[in-house]
Amino acid sequence: MPLSFIATTYSLVNHDFEFERTLETGELVFSGHTIKDYNASGTATANIVVLDKTEMDNYAFLSHEFTHVYQYYDFNVFNTYLNKPLQNLKVNYNTFDKVSNHLYYDLQGFIFYSLFFSEIQNIDCHYHNFFETEAGYYSNTIFCN
C-alpha cells in the first residue's frame, strides 16, 4: 500500500487517468506529456503505468511497462517475511491494528527497486540489465546489442 498509494497519488496529480486503457488492461494507466522530460516513452512505478500521450497506442511500450509491473508483483513473496513483525505492531498499537485491517503493505518495492537501480549503474545500454532485458524480450523493444 505505501508505494502503490504514493505512485497512484503522484500519477493522479501529475498525469491524466486513462479509464479505457485501465479497463482493457486491469492495471492503472495514466498518460501525460511530461514523461518525455525523463527521456522515456513510458514508466512503471509500483503497479502504475504512465505513458506519453503520443505512445498510448504503442502496444510494444505498453507491454514493456506491464512487464515491469509484473516484475514488481514477483517480489510479493518478501512480504510474507513481514507478517510476524507486522503482527507484533498490531498487538502493541491499536491504531496500527485498525489501519492494517484496510491496508496491504507492499513493502517488496524497497527490495525490487534496490535491485533494479543497482542493475542500471554503469551500463552502456539501457537494456544491459536483467529487468530491462526481460521487459524488452517480452515486448520486442530491445534496441541495443
In a domain, 144, yes or no: no
Domain that holds residue 121: 2-76+106-139
In a domain, 16, yes or no: yes
Q: What is the pTM of this model?
A: 0.82
In a domain, 93, yes or no: no
| Per-residue model confidence (pLDDT) at position 122 | 77
Q: Report the phi/psi class of residue 142: left, alpha or beta, with left for phi > 0 and alpha for psi in -120 to 50.
A: beta
- First CA to last CA across the chain, in angstroms? 37
In a domain, 85, yes or no: no
Domains of the chain: total? 1
In a domain, 18, yes or no: yes
In a domain, 126, yes or no: yes
In a domain, 48, yes or no: yes
In a domain, 70, yes or no: yes
pLDDT less than 70: residues of the chain: 1, 34-38, 145
| Per-residue model confidence (pLDDT) at position 37 | 61
Quickly list H helices, the chain.
2-14, 19-25, 59-74, 83-92, 94-100, 108-119, 130-139
| Per-residue model confidence (pLDDT) at position 6 | 86
